[in-house]
Chains A and B, each alone.
Chain A
Amino acid sequence: MRDTTDKELLALYNARNEDAVKETEARFGSHCFAIAYSILGTRQDAEECVNDALLRLWNSIPPAEPDDFYAYIAALTRNLARDRYKHDHAGKRGGTAADIALEELVQMPAGNASVEEAVDGRRLGAAISAFLYTLPKRQRVIFMQRYWYGRAVDEIAADLHMPKGTITVTLMRVRKKLQSYLEKEGFM
């Protein structure tokens, strides 16, 4: 069966057609689940998070008209998962795949504490995006899969048909380049 396009999906939402949710789930559900699972670490929580995301999507379109449906619901799922994780783990040390991945970034040498306090997430996100677009596509994808999707190195290796060691070394190089870039841009 042919997948619906983003445009067709948007039309279904605008028409308040229930098939919109069904199609969204069919196209993106498993990917959203993987994103939520990497952050939350349990299937039940991830499942509920995806359901919340579908509900949120249904309530936000219209009036929202996302240009990129996948990016929209993927970001929505990630935000919901993070909120749930923060709520459930206040004061605890985490150990999910996404947590472990972010620890690698935290281990970058610390910069000026006062600068760090003033870092604005939106600006930093834009800077990271700009930096990633300077890299070859393969490096971008590896970085995003590790730190945005929170995937394990062996999962990335399998997905990209690359050896685990190559993924590890690539991540190390990109982290170092990112550190230099952020220092130059005044974030660290």
Chain B
Amino acid sequence: MKKEVWAEAFDHISPGLITESMPRKASVSGRTHAWKERFSVIQMAAGTLATAAVIAIVAGFGALIYSLERKPGTADPAANSSAITEDSSEPTVTTSTAAIIWDASEKMPVIPEEEQNFLGGRGEIVTVTPARGNAVHPVLRDDVFLYWEQYRSFIGEDSTSVLTHKLSKEYTEKYDSLLSDGNALYYADNTGLSAIDSNGSKTLLYAIPEVATMTFTQVLSLGVADGTDPWYFISGYRGMESVNALVPFAIAFQPATDTELDLTDRIGMSGDAQWEFQTDGTTLIGLDRSTNTLLVFPRPEVMTDPSANADIQRLWLSEQELPHILSWQLADGNVTYVYSGTDKTLLCEYSLSGGTTRTRELDAPSDDAILTPETLFRVTQKPSETDSSRIDITITMTDPDTLINGGEESDLWVLHEMQPEDVRALRAAGDDAVLFYPASGQRALYAPFWTDDSN
């Protein structure tokens, strides 16, 4: 359809959509405020002239006022389109950490105040990379650098051990393709997959073949297997960025044996595929969020042997009528999933060996959920009793096996009177801690917990 048709259609878009998508910050700088003068003219003229005439006169006069007000040499906004306006009336993103209140209910695991760790101080928290074991790896950035930090156990005598790597700015746009396994930080870009070890040394593990017409590569998923000869998995899109010509790809490779496998066709990736991969070193499992399809390569040989397609298992989760997967986790031969719909949240367990599926419907819908092999963290929210414009956020934690057998969830945190937009992310840090960081991205609350109350 022609541009004019689209433009006219957008004139009739739902007002609710306009308000909902209002940018947090308008992004053109240097506004003047000529309306005041123009408004005065309107008022003076309003009693004597017909409205149409007023508009015509004022429009011309306003242009004159503007031309007089405009300062010579003012920067062209097109050259600085991302600058934040200096208008003091600009809506600002609320820093929510001040609103975080620890609710020390006796029923909750006790978390001493000094154990609530605030990350940040270096700039915005952009993500927290998945990490195995008792570690959390936030990635922060400021205007110049990206910081990758490793926070190992905060607990007890073996308290904080922090490694910080200051990465150059070139990494700042790649934080959606970061993965940490506790030993190295992996990142993918349009050249390939690289690793940075704890000494800051960088190694290119895999180079994506150059294709002249491919101007865009977006790696959306990374998987790294354990073991001495680990496999790495990347998937994403390649193609021309500005048009509808992005094609998916999925590649597995094992640097130790110089083995590279293009799994794109065997996985059957389509243009809408949204694959995520997990592996425990033996099983490679992928989830396509676009079709709710689970794909299982039960062992590495199935990947390397094209004739072993029959061994690739596919589970069509859509048959379960589960609309939106918040989190999923490969654990001990089974896969456990959390699904969240608009009005209910389901926790399901699937046996990859074809066993029975167990499902539990939870009382309140989740806004966010994180699964680890041992723990399900959930975030739910409800209007605050003291201020209806704000919300109370409750974070719960439960062993998924217990929960799916009818057990109850335990409140871990209650964060009072938060702004609705404060909910940004919840990350599990190992199996015994959780990290929550708000929309402001300035600081995050990290808290370990113990199932043993004697702690």
Contacts and interface: CB of A to CB of B under 8 A. Distances in A.
B327 to A, nearest CB: 15
B12 A126 contact: yes
Interface string A39-60: 0010110111011101100110
A30 B39 CA distance: 17
Given A108-B244, A145-B23, A169 B11 contact: no
Given A110-B1, A158-B82, A165-B216, 18 more contacts: A30-B89, A37-B77, A51-B62, A68-B19, A70-B22, A71-B15, A71-B19, A105-B6, A106-B1, A125-B9, A125-B11, A126-B12, A132-B14, A133-B17, A148-B13, A161-B424, A163-B175, A169-B237
Given A121-B8, A168-B216, A148 B23 contact: no
14 contacts: A30-B26, A31-B22, A47-B32, A48-B59, A68-B15, A99-B3, A108-B244, A119-B9, A125-B9, A133-B14, A158-B82, A161-B124, A172-B237, A175-B244
Given A33-B28, A102-B6, A172 B244 contact: yes
A152 B81 contact: yes
B441 A161 contact: yes
A75 interface: yes
Contact of A106 (B3, B14, B42, B62): B3
Interface string A74-97: 110011001000000000000001
Q: Can you list the 3 inter-chain pairs with the closest CB atoms, starting with the nearest?
A: A125-B12, A71-B15, A121-B8
Interface string A99-125: 100111111101100001001011011
A44 B66 contact: yes
A64 interface: no
Contact of A166 (B15, B176, B242): B176
A161 to B, nearest CB: 6
Contacts of A79: 11
Contacts of A151: 23, 27
A169 B14 CA distance: 24
Nearest to A66: B15
Contacts of B51: 59
Interface in B21-51: 21-28, 30-36, 38-39, 42-43, 51
A88 B363 CA distance: 57
B18 interface: yes
A167 to B, nearest CB: 10
B143 to A, nearest CB: 12
Contacts of A27: 89
A140 to B, nearest CB: 7
Contacts of B26: 30-31, 33-34
A30 B21 contact: no
Interface of A: 18, 21-22, 25-27, 29-31, 33-34, 37, 41, 43-44, 46-48, 50-52, 54-55, 58-59, 67-68, 70-72, 74-75, 78-79, 82, 97, 99, 102-108, 110-111, 116, 119, 121-122, 124-126, 128-129, 132-133, 136-137, 140-141, 143-145, 147-149, 151-152, 154-155, 158-159, 161-166, 168-169, 172-173, 175-177, 187-188
Contacts of A176: 244, 271-272
A21 B39 contact: yes
A173 B289 CA distance: 12
Contacts of B90: 30
A26 B126 CA distance: 31
A188 B271 CA distance: 21
Specify the main secondary structure of chain A where it touches its partner. helix
B358 interface: no
B241 interface: yes
B184 interface: no
A163 B176 contact: yes
B5 interface: yes
A30 B13 contact: no
B78 interface: yes
Contact of B176 (A97, A103, A165): A165
B412 to A, nearest CB: 24
Contacts of A187: 1
B34 A105 contact: no
A93 B43 CA distance: 39
B21 A140 contact: yes
A136 B323 CA distance: 11
Contacts of A104: 242-243
Contacts of A106: 1-3, 6
B246 interface: yes
A37 to B, nearest CB: 5
Contacts of B91: 31
A67 B15 contact: yes
A116 B89 contact: no
Nearest to B8: A121
A74 to B, nearest CB: 5
A115 B438 CA distance: 47
A36 to B, nearest CB: 9
B100 interface: no
Contacts of B6: 102, 105-106, 147
